[in-house]
């Protein structure tokens, strides 16, 4: 928990001329005595394209800090227009109010600031060279962006944790309770069921006098290629008898070689039956 909490910031002179000072009424609460002072800073963002145009308008050391609610007025000079690009003088920019303790920033408040000409004529047709004395600023004080940081104060007990807390109960957890153990057991059971089914099919094929290689895992390790459809239509291997297959092989041998000769599939018939059985499973 932070020892110092920012309760509110009130922009006293708003809207104001671009060249007027910034007057901020800051209220904060201190929960315990502090050994060092608080350092407050107000920074003006001169350009959205580069931080080299940022200007520290003023800084202030506040201390010693009594315990309880505290309030003070922070005055800061207007930004130096010579350090701001002409194209970035008008429009929307940002001012940042920060506070640090012992060089460690613990709170940052950002406000949008709109810079525009007071007269409608200049606003409608702004000159190339900005006329600074006719520009008015308006701080959007009702929409601040507050960011807080956990820091170490005077005691080590207030230092934020650098590493996640240790979990000795997680290290003492038995191995059989590791995440995913039940899922691995289920997968092992499914693999055993598949092996049993494959062995049963191989035994049935051998009992009816079929080819024993059909049920073998080693022979079916490579994926079966699908038969390509010819111009005359698809080939139905189930309705073709072994005699018809042998007759087609004989006709294939009689075809003369040439540029328009058809390629003959010289795979044995058992390969087609094995492919059918693999696809069926």
pLDDT digits (tens, 9 = 90+) for 75-109: 999 999 999 999 999 999 999 999 999 999 999 99
The whole-number pLDDT of residue 261 equals: 39
pLDDT digits (tens, 9 = 90+) for 237-252: 444 444 554 555 555 4
Residues 6+ apart with CB under 8 A from 278: 220, 224
Q: 0.85 exceeded by the pTM?
A: no
Q: Give dist(CA 99, CA 27) in Å, integer.
A: 12
Neighbours of 271 (CB within 10 A): 14
269 touches 245 (CB < 8 A): yes
Phi, psi dihedrals of residue 94, rounded to the nearest 5°: -140, 145
Strands, E assignment, the chain: 4-11, 16-17, 22-30, 38-45, 55-62, 68-76, 91-101, 104-117, 135-139, 145-148
- The rounded mean pLDDT for the chain is 73
Best CA proximity match to 278, nearest among 218, 200, 191, 220: 220
The whole-number pLDDT of residue 189 equals: 58
Among the CATH numbers 1.20.1250.20, 2.60.420.10, 2.60.40.1490, 3.90.180.10, which is that of 4-158?
2.60.40.1490
The whole-number pLDDT of residue 49 equals: 87
Numbered ranges of CATH 2.60.40.1490 in the chain: 4-158
The whole-number pLDDT of residue 167 equals: 54
The whole-number pLDDT of residue 277 equals: 41
Best CA proximity match to 88, nearest among 42, 49, 141, 135: 49
The whole-number pLDDT of residue 157 equals: 64
pLDDT < 50 regions, the chain:
163-164, 177-181, 194, 196, 198, 200-242, 245, 252-281
């Amino acid at each position: 928990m932070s020892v110092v909490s920012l309760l509110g910031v009130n922009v006293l002179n708003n809207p104001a001329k671009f060249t007027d000072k910034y007057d901020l009424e800051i209220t904060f609460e201190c929960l315990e005595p502090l050994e060092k002072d608080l350092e407050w800073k107000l920074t003006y963002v001169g350009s959205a394209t580069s931080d080299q145009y940022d200007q520290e308008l003023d800084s202030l050391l506040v201390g010693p800090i009594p315990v309880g609610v505290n309030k003070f007025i922070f005055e800061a000079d207007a930004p130096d227009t010579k350090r701001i690009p002409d194209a970035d003088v008008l429009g929307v920019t940002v001012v940042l109010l920060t506070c640090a303790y012992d060089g460690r920033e613990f709170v940052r408040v950002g406000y949008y600031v709109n810079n525009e000409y007071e007269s409608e004529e200049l606003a409608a047709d702004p000159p190339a060279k900005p006329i600074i004395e006719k520009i008015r600023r308006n701080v959007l004080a009702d929409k601040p962006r507050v960011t807080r940081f956990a820091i170490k104060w005077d005691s080590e007990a207030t230092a934020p944790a650098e590493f996640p807390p240790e979990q000795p109960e997680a290290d003492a957890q038995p191995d059989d309770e590791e995440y995913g153990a039940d899922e691995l057991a289920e997968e092992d059971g499914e693999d055993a069921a598949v092996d049993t089914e494959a062995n049963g099919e191989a035994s049935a094929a051998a009992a009816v006098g079929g080819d024993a290689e059909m049920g073998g895992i080693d022979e079916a390790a490579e994926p079966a290629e699908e038969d390509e459809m010819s111009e005359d239509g698809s080939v139905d291997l189930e309705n073709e008898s072994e005699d018809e297959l042998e007759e087609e092989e004989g006709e294939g041998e009689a075809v003369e070689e040439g540029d328009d000769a058809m390629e003959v599939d010289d795979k044995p018939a058992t390969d087609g039956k094995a492919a059918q059985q693999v696809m069926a499973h």
